[in-house]
Structures are given as C-alpha cells and as structure tokens.
Amino acid sequence: MSGLIVTMSRPGASGGEDTPLLGKLQDRSVNDITDSSSPLLNQVSKLGFNSIKYIGSGTTGCITVVKKTKTEKLYVLKNITPLGKYCKTSGKYGEVTAVSLQDYSNLFSKIHGFITCNSLSEKWNFVERLELKNSKDEFIVGILTEHIPGAMDLYDFRKVNRLTTKQVQIIGKQIGSALKVMHEHGFIHRDIKPSNILIYKNEKVKLIDFDASRYLDDGRANTQCGTADYMAPEVISQGSDGYGIKADAWSFGMVLYDMAFNSLPPFVDSVDIYQTMQDTVKFAESGKTIEEEAQLRGDPAFVDLLNKLICHEDNRITVAQALEEPFFKQALEEPASQSSILKFLSRLCCSSC
C-alpha cells in the first residue's frame, strides 16, 4: 500500500500507543526527546527560547513547551520535520495548513511564529509571519503556538465520566464547525480522533494535529493515512477514485459515537488493526445502518445522524450537512455543565505548566 500512514488509537493495542499531543503533560525531561528533534531544540535556544517540558510525539516529531527568554511567556513548539525532510512554505500539506486557517476559533491555537531554515545557507530564523512563499530554499521546521494551561484532549476528557447529550451536542458542534471551515477552504484533515481534539475552559474546542491534512487540488486524495479506528472505508480500500472530504465526515461520526457510548462500533477490533480495517470496509459495503450493526438505542435524532455519517461514502452526508441535522439544531449555544472539566482540571493543574 503506497503512502501508508496508519496508527492505532487505543493504548495497548497492536500498532503502538497513540500519544495525546496536548492532553495530560508527561513528566519527561527535554533530554529524553529523540535525536531527530534535538537540532530544532538546539537552534530554538539560540533564537531566545528555552525548552521547559516535553508533551508528546506526533507523526513528524516532538511537541514541547518552551519559554521565551525575554518575556518568560510560555508557548507550544511543534517540530514539523518528518524524517529529516523540511516542510515547504506552500501551506498545502501537513501542519502548515494551519497557517491559512488560524483565524478560526475552533481550529488550532493562535500561531505566534515559525522556525525556518534556509537549505542553502543553513541559516535558522524565527519569523512571526510567513512571507516566504516564493522562496524555494526556505523551509518551515517548527511552529510556535499559544500555550493553553490546563487543556486536555477529548480522549482524557471523556474518561472523567460519561458525557451528557448536551455535552455531545456542544462539543460535537464545535468539532464539526472546525471541519466545515477546513473543507470550505479546500482542506481535508484525515486524522479526526479524540486525541486530536483539544478541550479547554467552558468546554471550548480546538481541532489540533494537522500532520495528515492536505489541500485537495482536485477534490480527491489517494494516500491511506489516519488512525484505523476512525478511518473511513474508502480511505482504507484506496479505490481508483480516491476519497474526498466525506472521509472526515465518517471520522466525525465515529468520534460522536465514541463520545456518546464511550466505546466504538462492533466492527472496530480492540487488538487487531488489520481486522478493524477489513471489518470497516465490510460494514460499509453491507448496506446495514450503524443502528442495526450496533443495536443502538437512544435519542432518535442522534441515532439518525450516526446512520447518515457512519455509512458508505455514496450515502454519507458531509460535515456541513451534519451540522444542519436536528441533533445539532437542538444544541444550546452556552456551554454545558462545567462539573466534569473542573474535576479533571483540579487534578491536572498541579502538573501543568
């Protein structure tokens, strides 16, 4: 399978543990960071930033909390240098897609600057704005974003207790709104899952980790990438027609299912990543609804929404259409009860920067 980039979502499952990027902060020294990321950290220190805490690892490198020497303000620095190859400043692939979308509230935290490197002079720079799109020799190697104290990913957030219908509506609507913006601008995320959704005060949402995202030049993509548990069947099967933004709609539906039932549908194998992928395609081709497959009981509007999202691409609605469904129309604008997030934050704040 060409271009295979697949991960497993549950700790302990085959394929390795998926590390939350901005969830619970791990008590690891920056000295534990892999050698592939150390050149960036060394250069960042020369540019006036000190590494404070290691957060986690993504597909393209490590994520650390850094402090600006002059102001002592904290930021999150993400290395976007996969396998030693620099990322061009075109803004069409990976984390750089966030550059053109950073003004939207439910997309990743405010970008404060970029670490760049010139492939000819090997000079490293910190720039607050990207004015390098016409330079074929300038590459982005790191993105500096705002640090949100006490934030956690959805994976951890839903472990506190089972989410209420109101919470699923409010959090889900924000996730959907972020995806809608990406799709309207021609981008696809391709790795929607709980650990790539950041929750902070008053249950506000940020969509994070754009490693797998890209601009759809012709509306379709072909690379098999993402996380098996949440991956759309057309992404798995890699048909001749490829796939489009509806792949994100499938993943969105899986996240909604996960939030509501604190589990995934029966066709997701708890151990075998390849069995999950086979069964996902088999379910989509069976013509069965997710209601029939999982014998769902609950809010009829929610079950109907899942039926329209977790299905074959030909029958699936888009994320924009999902936001117009009765389930989200019922959602109130104000945040749901803060009790669950406050319980978690009270335990988390002592270990956060």
Residues 189 and 313 in one domain: yes
Q: What angle do CA 244, 245, 247 make, to 5 degrees?
A: 80
Q: How far is Cα 176 from Cα 182, in angstroms, rounded to an integer?
A: 10
Res. 77: pLDDT tops 90: no
Residue 191 annotated among the catalytic residues of the structure:
yes
Average pLDDT over residues 271-290: 94
What pLDDT score was predicted for residue 111? 77
What pLDDT score was predicted for residue 44? 83
In whole numbers, what is the pLDDT of the chain averaged over residues? 77
Q: How far is Cα 154 from Cα 205, in angstroms, rounded to an integer?
A: 9
Average pLDDT over residues 300-326: 97
Q: How far is Cα 219 from Cα 212, in angstroms, rounded to an integer?
A: 16
Residues 308 and 179 in one domain: yes
Lowest-pLDDT range of 10-19, 182-191, 232-241:
10-19
- Are 64 and 41 contacting, i.e. CB atoms less than 8 angstroms apart? yes
Range of the domain at 48: 16-146
Task: Compute φ and ψ for 123, nearest 5 degrees.
Answer: -85, 135
Q: How far is Cα 9 from Cα 268, in angstroms, rounded to an integer?
A: 11
Residues 221 and 121 in one domain: no
What pLDDT score was predicted for residue 110? 74
Residues 160 and 21 in one domain: no
Q: What is the helix (H) or strand (E) element at residue 65, kind and residue range?
A: strand 62-68
Is 100 or 101 the better-scoring residue by pLDDT? 101
Residues 80 and 196 in one domain: no
Is 240 or 205 the better-scoring residue by pLDDT? 205
Percent of the chain whose pLDDT exceeds 90 = 34
Q: How far is Cα 191 from Cα 161, in angstroms, rounded to an integer?
A: 24
Residues 193 and 307 in one domain: yes
Burial degree of 237 (CB within 10 A; 0-12, 13-18, 19+): middle
What pLDDT score was predicted for residue 310? 97
> What tokens were used for 257?
């299912």
| CA distances from residue 250 to 26, 209, 230, 245, 315 in whole angstroms, order as listed | 31, 18, 7, 9, 11
Residues 114 and 160 in one domain: no
Q: How far is Cα 203 from Cα 340, in angstroms, rounded to an integer?
A: 10
- Per-residue DSSP letter, 162: P
Task: Compute φ and ψ for 134, nearest 5 degrees.
Answer: -95, 0
What pLDDT score was predicted for residue 228? 93
CATH code for the domain in which residue 93 is found = 3.30.200
Residues 24 and 117 in one domain: yes
Residues 186 and 305 in one domain: yes
4 occurs within a structural domain: no
What residues contact 118, with CB distance under 8 A and at least 6 apart?
A: 125, 135, 137, 138, 139
10 occurs within a structural domain: no
What pLDDT score was predicted for residue 57? 67
Domain finish residue from 146, 166, 187: 146
352 occurs within a structural domain: no
- Are 200 and 150 contacting, i.e. CB atoms less than 8 angstroms apart? yes
353 occurs within a structural domain: no
Residues 123 and 158 in one domain: no
Q: What is the pLDDT of residues 145-158, one digit of tens each?
A: 888 888 888 998 98
Highest mean pLDDT among 99-113, 312-326, 337-351: 312-326
Res. 279: pLDDT tops 50: yes
Q: What is the pLDDT of residues 219-276, one digit of tens each?
A: 899 888 899 999 999 999 987 789 999 999 999 999 999 999 999 999 998 789 999 9
Residues 135 and 185 in one domain: no
Count CA atoms within 13 Å of residue 265 on its CB side.
33
- Are 140 and 80 contacting, i.e. CB atoms less than 8 angstroms apart? yes
| CA distances from residue 136 to 89, 117, 128, 257, 325 in whole angstroms, order as listed | 8, 11, 19, 44, 45
Q: What is the helix (H) or strand (E) element at residue 236, kind and residue range?
A: helix 233-237
337 occurs within a structural domain: no
What pLDDT score was predicted for residue 17? 35
Q: Which of 352, 281, 351 is nearest to 310 (CA)?
A: 281
9 occurs within a structural domain: no
327 pLDDT band, cuts 50/70/90, is very high
- Are 253 and 196 contacting, i.e. CB atoms less than 8 angstroms apart? no
Lowest-pLDDT range of 24-33, 142-151, 243-252, 328-337:
24-33
Name beta bridge partners: 138. 118
Q: How far is Cα 304 from Cα 13, in angstroms, rounded to an integer?
A: 30
What pLDDT score was predicted for residue 85? 42
Burial degree of 1 (CB within 10 A; 0-12, 13-18, 19+): exposed
Strands 197-200, 204-207: pairing is antiparallel
Active-site pick, 191, 211, 229, 269: 191
Number of domains in the chain: 2
CATH code for the domain in which residue 229 is found = 1.10.510.10
336 occurs within a structural domain: no
Residues 138 and 187 in one domain: no
Burial degree of 31 (CB within 10 A; 0-12, 13-18, 19+): exposed
221 occurs within a structural domain: yes
Q: How far is Cα 260 from Cα 41, in angstroms, rounded to an integer?
A: 40
Domain finish residue from 96, 120, 146: 146
Domain finish residue from 146, 178, 212: 146
